[in-house]
Amino acid sequence: MSNKPSVVMVGLGYIGLPTAALIAQNKTYVHGVDINPSVVETINQGKIHIVEPELDIAVAKAVKEGYLKAATTPVEASAYLIVVPTPFKAKNEPDISFVESATRAVLPLLKEDDLYIIESTSPVGTTEKMMQLIFTERPELAGKINIAYCPERVLPGNVMYELVHNDRVIGGVDEKSTEKALAFYREFIKGDLHRTNARTAEMCKLVENSSRDVQIAFANELSLICDKADINVWDLIELANKHPRVNILQPGCGVGGHCIAVDPYFIVAEYPMESKIIGKAREINNYKSFWCAEKIQTAKLEFELKHGHKPSIALMGLAFKPNIDDLRESPAKYIAQKVLQNANNGEYYIVEPNITEHNVFKITEYKEAVEKADIVAFLVAHDEFKTLELPSDKVVLDFCGVFK
Ligand code: SAJ
């Protein structure tokens, strides 16, 4: 068997690396590309630079058996996958410059019949734009290569399972491209593969995450209303969800992570007049974090008025959601920063059981923090917190339903 790579994976991050490992597990040679030399070096040693269950084993095996190799530049292959970040610029506008530079890097290597797939979350029309770029630079390839968009939909923390078992939406720029991309994914994905065009596939990814954002915004809005109405929002939602066609999500400190708090802006930036609910949901979810910080501030002042001295405060959780160590775009982190800005010599205990240290926050063990603090504010519903026994003299602010 020749060990010529048949797949080039551009971008070895949270999605690119697991996907590369999965393809390599299938005994297909994968050449991974990343601009960061230390990432390349780590992977070539059979190690990983991100936290994701089971990924370490898969990468170690793929590298050891010679099916996965990393480098800073691409080589010739028959399929090219673009799995790079699409951040946003000022004014929440999507920035597709990484997709473009990844495309330019593989452009000289493309040949007739090759497959070029974008997986990066992208604004609608990006795949067509990249097709134009490819055909402008390589006019002899027009209509002769297969170009498609296929978003991933895996949940951080469960990536290795979901990559294989989730359904996928595959949209080519023409039917032949869709079929070729479908045949490619069928080799390693057990979920159903659904055919569409590139624009619909791009919008589908954005809509999935916007839908979740809008639903969480509804729950967060209810939490604000219930706070004024003196109603327990958790009880309310549980009761409303007894209706056979109602399924309200859970309120929290806001929405974090690299996906749900970002992707809706890709729609709003392009279609501002039409995407009223999607834009408003972003505002509500962002406001919820601000509101939580204000609530802590108010509790602090009330305590001082009542007791004549400043309270000590425990901030419970920094991650962007329960039971992970990922602090990216975390509302809890935002709240902690905001509260500490107004710290005014008060005593604070910052808790995050899933990390041991942080370059800004001094981390305190969670039981110790609860014991020492007068005010305990729950920002993330980590499992460890649920069994805590809280003495009745503590002021408890449960923003995320730890004790619902
Ligand atoms: N959250 C709530 N209330 C809820 C559910 C979530 O406040 O009822 C908050 C979480 O605490 C967190 C944020 O929402 O701050 C996002 O968490 P999440 O678990 O909903 O989603 P992510 O960001 O980990 O992953 C999402 C998933 N998308 C959907 O569920 C529609 C995942 O399938 C996508 O692959 C991923 O985004 C992505 O990469 O786009």
The predicted pLDDT at position 90 comes to 81
Residue type, 149: Y
Q: What is the 3-state secondary structure (H, E, C) of the chain?
A: CCCCCCEEEECCCCCHHHHHHHHHHCCCCEEEECCCHHHHHHHHCCCCCCCCCCHHHHHHHHHHCCCEEEECCCCCCCEEEECCCCCECHHHCECCHHHHHHHHHHHHHCCCCCEEEECCCCCCCHHHHHHHHHHHHCHHHCCCCEEEECCCCCCCCCHHHHHHHCCEEEEECCHHHHHHHHHHHHCCCCCCEEEEEHHHHHHHHHHHHHHHHHHHHHHHHHHHHHHHHCCCHHHHHHHHCCCCCCCCCCCCCCCCCCCCCCHHHHHHHHCCCCCHHHHHHHHHHHHHHHHHHHHHHHHHHHHHHHHCCCCEEEEECCCCCCCCCCCCCCHHHHHHHHHHHCCCCCEEEEECCCCCCCCCCCECCHHHHHHHCCEEEECCCCHHHHHCCCCCCCEEEECCCCCC
Nearest Cα residue to 281 out of 370, 188, 219 = 219
Dist. CA 173–CA 150, nearest whole Å:
11
> What pLDDT was estimated at residue 1?
43
Q: Which pLDDT tens digit goes with each residue over 321-363? A: 999 888 989 999 999 999 999 877 779 999 999 999 999 999 9
Catalytic residue, candidates 150, 253, 259, 400: 259
CA atoms within 13 A on the CB side of 387: 2
**Residue ranges in the chain modelled with pLDDT below 70:** 1-5
Q: Is 259 a catalytic residue?
A: yes
Token pair, residue 12, equals 């070895």
Contact at 8 Å (CB) between 333 and 327? yes
- Compute how many other C-beta atoms are within 10 angstroms of the C-beta atom of residue 48: 20
Contact 404 CB / ligand 1 (< 6 Å): no
- What is the pLDDT, as a whole number, of residue 260? 95
Residue 253 Cα: closest atom of ligand 1: 7
Amino acid in position 357: E
Q: How far apart are the CA of 395 and the centre of ligand 1, in A?
A: 29
Distance from the alpha carbon of residue 381 to the mean position of ligand 1, in angstroms: 14
In Å, what is the CA distance from 84 to each residue of 115, 120, 138, 235?
Answer: 17, 6, 22, 42
Atom number of ligand 1 nearest to Cα 324 = 24
* Cα 3 to middle of ligand 1, angstroms: 38
Report the pLDDT value the prediction gives residue 68, as an integer from 0 to 100.
Answer: 98
Q: How far apart are CA 377 and CA 398, in angstroms?
A: 6
pLDDT digits (tens, 9 = 90+) for 45-79: 999 998 889 999 999 999 999 999 999 999 999 99
What residue owns the CA closest to ligand 1's atom 14? Answer: 255
- How far apart CA 151 and CA 156 sit, in angstroms, is 15
| Spatial separation of the C-alpha atoms in residues 24 and 51, rounded to whole Å | 19
Q: Which of 321, 334, 378 to mutate to test the pocket of ligand 1 (most atoms within 8 A of CB)?
A: 321
Q: What are 127-145's pLDDT values in tens digits?
A: 999 999 999 999 999 999 9
- Residue 150 annotated as catalytic: no
